[in-house]
Structure 1
Amino acid sequence: MDSRFEERLTSVGFTTLTPIQSAVAEPLANGQSIDALAPTGTGKTLAFTWPLLPKLVPEDGEQLLILAPSQELAMQTTRVVRDWANVLSLKVLSLTGGANIKHQLDRLKKHPEILIGTPGRVSELINNGKLKLKRLRTLILDEADELLRDDTANQIDIIWDAIDDDDVQVALFGATEVDPSTASGLFNREFLRIDQRQVAIPTEIKHEFWLTARDQRQKRLRQLAAEKRFQAIVFFNTTKQLKITASFLAHEHVAMATLARGDSSTTRAKSLTNFRQGKAKFLLTTDAAARGLDIPDLPAVINFDLPRDGETYTHRAGRTGRMGKVGTVISFGNDHDFRDLKKMVAVDIQAISGGKGLPKAEKVPVTEKTSHKNQNETHVARPKSKSPKVDQPRKKKVAATDSVSRQERFAKEKRAKRKHRKNKGKPKHN
Structure 2
Amino acid sequence: MHQQFEEKIQSSGFSELTPIQKAVYEPLKDGRSIDALAPTGTGKTLAFTWPLLENVTPDDGEQLLVLAPSQELAMQTTHVMREWASTLGLKVLSLTGGANIKNQLDRLKKHPEVLVGTPGRVVELINNNKLKLGRLRTLVLDEADELLRDDTAKQVDEIWDAIDNSDVQVALFGATEVDEKIAAGVFDREFERIDQRDVPMPTKIEHEFWLTATDQRNKRLRQLAAQKKMQAMVFFNTTKQLKMTANFLAHEHIGMATLVRGDSSSTRERAMRSFKNGDAKFLLTTDVGARGLDIPDLPVVINFDLPRDGETYTHRSGRTGRMGKNGLVITFGNDHDARDLKRMVAVDIEVVKGRPRLLENDSAILRNSRAGGNNKPSSRPSSGKGKAATKVAQPKKNVTVKTDDSDKPSTSAKKSTKFVKPVRKEQEVQSREDRFAKEKKAKRKHRKDKGKPKKA
Q: Same fold (TM over 0.5)?
A: yes
Write the deviation string for residues 315-342 of structure 1: whole angstroms up to 9, x where unpaired: 0000000011010000001111111111
Structure 2 counterparts to residues 22-421 of structure 1, below 5 A? 22-355=22-355, 358-360=358-360
Write the deviation string for residues 110-133 of structure 1: whole angstroms up to 9, x where unpaired: 000000000000000000100000
Aligned equivalents of 1:18 and 1:164: distance in 2?
A: 34
TM-score normalised by the chain length of structure 1? 0.83
Residue pair 2:223, 2:359 contacting (<8 A) in 1 also: no
Aligned equivalents of 1:137 and 1:359: distance in 2?
A: 53
Identity of aligned residues (%): 75
Aligned equivalents of 1:113 and 1:285: distance in 2?
A: 33
Aligned equivalents of 1:6 and 1:239: distance in 2?
A: 45
Aligned equivalents of 1:348 and 1:151: distance in 2?
A: 35
Amino acid at match of 2:269: A
Write the deviation string for residues 95-142 of structure 1: whole angstroms up to 9, x where unpaired: 000000000000000000000000000000000100000000000000
Aligned equivalents of 2:57 and 2:255: distance in 1?
A: 46
Aligned equivalents of 1:229 and 1:220: distance in 2?
A: 16
Distance change >3 Å, CA 110–CA 146, structure 1 → 2: same
Using the TM superposition, name which of 99-108 and 334-343 deviates more: 334-343
Distance change >3 Å, CA 315–CA 290, structure 1 → 2: closer
Aligned equivalents of 2:269 and 2:359: distance in 1?
A: 32
Residue pair 1:353, 1:362 contacting (<8 A) in 2 also: no
Residue pair 1:355, 1:362 contacting (<8 A) in 2 also: no
- Offset, 1:290: 3.7
* Deviation beyond 3 Å, 4+ runs, structure 1: none
Aligned equivalents of 1:310 and 1:356: distance in 2?
A: 24
- Offset, 1:354: 2.8
Amino acid at match of 2:52: L
Q: SS where residue 90 of structure 1 aligns?
A: coil
Aligned equivalents of 2:12 and 2:102: distance in 1?
A: 38
Write the deviation string for residues 154-188 of structure 1: whole angstroms up to 9, x where unpaired: 11011000102111000000001011111111111
Amino acid at match of 1:85: A
Distance change >3 Å, CA 305–CA 74, structure 1 → 2: same
Residue pair 1:45, 1:77 contacting (<8 A) in 2 also: yes
Greater relative contact order (CA < 8 Å, ≥ 6 in sequence): 2
Q: Over alpha carbons, which structure has the higher Rg?
A: 1
- Offset, 1:87: 0.6
Aligned equivalents of 1:14 and 1:359: distance in 2?
A: 35
Partner of 1:394: none
Amino acid at match of 1:330: I
Residue pair 1:355, 1:361 contacting (<8 A) in 2 also: no
Amino acid at match of 1:337: D
Aligned equivalents of 2:202 and 2:306: distance in 1?
A: 26
Q: SS where residue 339 of structure 1 aligns?
A: helix
- Offset, 1:356: 6.4
Amino acid at match of 1:44: K
- Offset, 1:361: 9.0
Residue pair 2:231, 2:282 contacting (<8 A) in 1 also: yes
Distance change >3 Å, CA 124–CA 148, structure 1 → 2: same
Q: SS where residue 61 of structure 1 aligns?
A: coil
Residue pair 2:290, 2:312 contacting (<8 A) in 1 also: no
Write the deviation string for residues 363-420 of structure 1: whole angstroms up to 9, x where unpaired: 9xxxxxxxxxxxxxxxxxxxxxxxxxxxxxxxxxxxxxxxxxxxxxxxxxxxxxxxxx
TM-score normalised by the chain length of structure 2? 0.78
Q: SS where residue 358 of structure 1 aligns?
A: helix
Distance change >3 Å, CA 325–CA 362, structure 1 → 2: closer
Q: SS where residue 258 of structure 1 aligns?
A: strand
Amino acid at match of 1:226: A
Instruction: Identify the structure with the greater helix proportion.
Output: 1
Aligned equivalents of 2:257 and 2:129: distance in 1?
A: 37
Write the deviation string for residues 222-275 of structure 1: whole angstroms up to 9, x where unpaired: 000011111000000001100110000000000000000011111100000000
Residue pair 2:224, 2:359 contacting (<8 A) in 1 also: no
Residue pair 1:67, 1:119 contacting (<8 A) in 2 also: yes
Amino acid at match of 1:30: D
Residue pair 1:202, 1:324 contacting (<8 A) in 2 also: yes
